[in-house]
Amino acid sequence: MKIIKRNGTEVTFDREKIEVAIRKANDATEKKKELSDRQIEYIVNVIEDHCAEMNRSLSVEEIQELVETHIILQNAPETAKRYIRYRFTRNLARIANTTDNQILSLIECNNEEVKQENSNKNPTVNSVQRDYMAGEVSKDITKRILLPQEVVDAHERGLIHFHDADYFAQHMHNCDLVNLEDMLQNGTVISGTMIETPHSFSTACNISTQIIAQVASSQYGGQSISLTHLAPFVDVSRKKIRKEVEAEVATMGATPSEEKIAEIVEKRLRDEIKKGCQMIQYQVVTLMTTNGQAPFVTVFMYLGEAEDAQTKHDLAMIIEEMLNQRIVGVKNEAGVWITPAFPKLIYVLEEDNIHEDSKYYYLTKLAAKCTAKRMVPDYISEKMMLKLKVDKNGDGHCYTCMGCRSFLTPYVDENGKPKYYGRFNQGVVTINLVDIALSSGGNMEKFWQIFDERLDICYTALMCRHNRLKGTLSDAAPILWQYGALARLKKGETIDKLLYGGYSTISLGYAGLYECVKYMTGKSHTDESAKPFALEVMEYLNAATKRWKEKENIDFSLYGTPLESTTYKFSKCLQQRFGIVEGVTDKNYITNSYHVHVTEEINAFEKLAFEAQFQQLSPGGAISYVEVPNMQNNLEAVLDVMKFIYDNIMYAELNTKSDYCQECGFDGEIEIKEDKDGKLIWTCPNCGNTDENKLNVARRTCGYIGTQFWNQGRTQEIKERVLHL
């Protein structure tokens, strides 16, 4: 059994330390001692049993609060006072040194919480440690200086989550859609070097990877690019290659037919497309940005974006190559082909590719094969998105998200044209719905009252995010604001005009709808009698963002939060305040956004149809998933799910497994088991290997695929997932 110390390190539970602390408080009196030896032993036993039952590592603070509680329950008020006073004095001495200890522990790779904060960061790497060190300083400044105390307190207590506080000290935004078209067609500047319009497809791909790396180093969230913006350069290469072939033919004095020349040109063009796509995949996987990880980049594949038949044809060739290369995967350090985390792929299901007789159905079958083996692409339904994403003119639009799930709201520019690329999200604050329910004690009137209070805190926190960006000079990130990724502002110009009027969004996230409804109604939100309350909660959240939008002229939008490490944090806070409530706080995680609980038996089609109702009430972003077994030999079933997505839900994905043990070569599912201390560990079922450095595990936990393992709460959630197909 383990505990988490204040600096984040994990150590073995030591009951003797608890006993010594209680005895010191009990002995520090000239009067008769309040606690007998038997009572002290009883307190220690109760606390030890409680820690074992929690099925996770408790923090030192949680254990100390248990000690205080049980001393009082033993009718020893003076001893409790002395213990509390001693704890308070010790805490004052630590306050000035908290950040130092946090930094030192993460440098030595002893900080368990930081090590498992991001499943795509390797905490042993210098660049990651440097980013974490800067993050600890940023969080310290943010909590002490930059945020109102009520926001800090709410964040610390788990009432809300102020996302990415480790970057808040800087003037940085969350995520965006990179205007790759503008940068490639009109040129850009990277690290002070002028980059002109590329003269081939492969050069366009190379420049794109450099843009991706630069953008990732200037923000903290995900970014998305569209393959449509690369497609015009296929024809540029085609014409260039044709001239080369014709010159070669003339040199040889040969007179091949037009068909033969076209055949040679097409073969060389295909080779260039292959090299270009390979460049994107390998560069993204191997690039390491300034925060010590590969860029969180999404590649959008939408035939409907192409403006003419030739571009659509060329785009289809690029999509085909991207899918084929992802099916192959990338080699790990042992030389085995595995599933890479990035880039994330999104494939749009549309009339041109969804039916067996559609022109591009072959791409959809290839996408199904890729999903079955590598978990991507994920799928957007053009049909559903055109219904849900409607602009002020009444026109529907289909476009990519900014990373794993954050969607812009429809926007029409001053020329009456829809605009998505070049727009961004200012940041996220998430409300803990489970805490609202538990704080109300089940009283519905009190529930809505507390809801309003928490929403007020969220509004304050979101305005802090907005105001932190306000006044930011374009010089802070030239690649973003001056050279086309998001804008072409002048040097010294602020980004303020991009923060208002719907050009950018700012997100109110929410988590734990299932547990909230479960506590208030006694039933899952999938139950027909409980669903109306769940929908009412969603409407209430949307009403709040609408009020704020009208008040501030800022595009507040409701966002189905993809909690990663925070799912564990929220759970611990709830357990600490409310204890174990069956069906609500008896897990070391809470449910992401509106999702059906991971343990609930429901088939894939029912799940997607149910969640579609809530997805449309999350205009700022949402994604649904179905958990499936190995589907590589059942692609027809994958295609059936894809067709169902097209007709029923805007954005969804299929979760399978893609693992490998470097110790024995096992390439099936790596399992999660409990060790002797009750800790969940990843274990090869073939050889028993538990060394995470010799295991390649890929799981989707929050939209992106994670490959660097997870905290105990998220690991439990992964372990308890049921199959939907």
DSSP secondary structure letters along 607-662: HHHHHHHHHTT-TTB--EEEE----TT-HHHHHHHHHHHHHH-SEEEEE----EET
Q: What's the pLDDT at 305?
A: 97
Please name the residue that has the structure tokens 């603070």.
61
Q: Give pLDDT tens digits for 188-217.
A: 999 899 999 999 999 999 999 999 999 999
The DSSP result for 289-334, as a single string, is -TTSS---EEEEE-GGG-SSHHHHHHHHHHHHHHHHHHHH-EE-TT
Which residues on adjacent β-strands are paired with residue 2? 12
Q: Which of 511, 597, 527, 625 is nearest to 560 (CA)?
A: 511
Distance, in Å, from the CA atom of 27 to the CA atom of 260, rounded to the nearest integer, reads 97
E-only strand ranges, 46-166: 58-59, 160-162
Distance, in Å, from the CA atom of 73 to the CA atom of 11, rounded to the nearest integer, reads 28
Three-state DSSP state, 351: coil
Q: Give pLDDT tens digits for 480-525.
A: 999 999 999 999 999 999 999 999 999 999 999 999 999 999 999 9
Q: What's the pLDDT at 653?
A: 96
Please name the residue that has the structure tokens 């067609």.
185
Distance, in Å, from the CA atom of 17 to the CA atom of 668, rounded to the nearest integer, reads 43
Please report, as a single letter, which amino acid is at residue 59.
S
Q: What's the pLDDT at 99?
A: 61
- Cβ atoms < 10 Å from Cβ of 647: 13
Helices and strands (DSSP H and E) totals, the chain: 24, 24
Q: What's the pLDDT at 440?
A: 98
The DSSP result for 428-458, as a single string, is EEEEEHHHHHHHHTT-HHHHHHHHHHHHHHH
- Cβ atoms < 10 Å from Cβ of 684: 24
Q: How many angstroms separate the Cα of 589 from the Cα of each of 3, 28, 94, 429, 565?
A: 18, 40, 29, 18, 9
Torsion of CA 453, 459, 461, 465, to 10 degrees: 180
Which residues on adjacent β-strands are paired with residue 338? 330
Q: What's the pLDDT at 12?
A: 85
Distance, in Å, from the CA atom of 631 to the CA atom of 571, rounded to the nearest integer, reads 33
Q: Which of 115, 134, 176, 137 is nearest to 290 (CA)?
A: 134
Q: What is the CA radius of gyration of the chain?
A: 27
Distance, in Å, from the CA atom of 441 to the CA atom of 247, rounded to the nearest integer, reads 82
Q: What's the pLDDT at 288?
A: 67
Q: What is the mean pLDDT of each run of 10 residues along the chain (725 residues)?
A: 73 88 88 91 91 81 88 90 78 55 60 54 68 80 93 96 93 96 97 95 97 93 96 98 94 90 96 97 80 82 97 98 96 86 95 97 98 96 98 95 93 93 98 98 98 98 98 97 98 98 97 98 98 98 98 98 88 93 95 96 98 97 95 96 98 91 90 88 95 88 74 88 94
Q: What are phi and psi of 409, to 5 degrees?
A: -90, 155
Catalytic residues: 174-175, 402, 404, 406, 425, 559, 564, 703
Q: What's the pLDDT at 292?
A: 62
- Residue 661, both tokens: 């043990």
Give the pairing of strands 188-190 and 193-195: antiparallel
Say which residues have a Cβ less than 8 Å from residue 257's Cβ, sequence separation at least 6: none
- Residue 62, both tokens: 């949680």
361-374 helix and 635-648 helix, angle to the nearest 10 degrees: 110
Distance, in Å, from the CA atom of 618 to the CA atom of 622, rounded to the nearest integer, reads 6
Q: Which of 459, 458, 427, 429 is nearest to 548 (CA)?
A: 459
Please name the residue that has the structure tokens 């010191």.
24
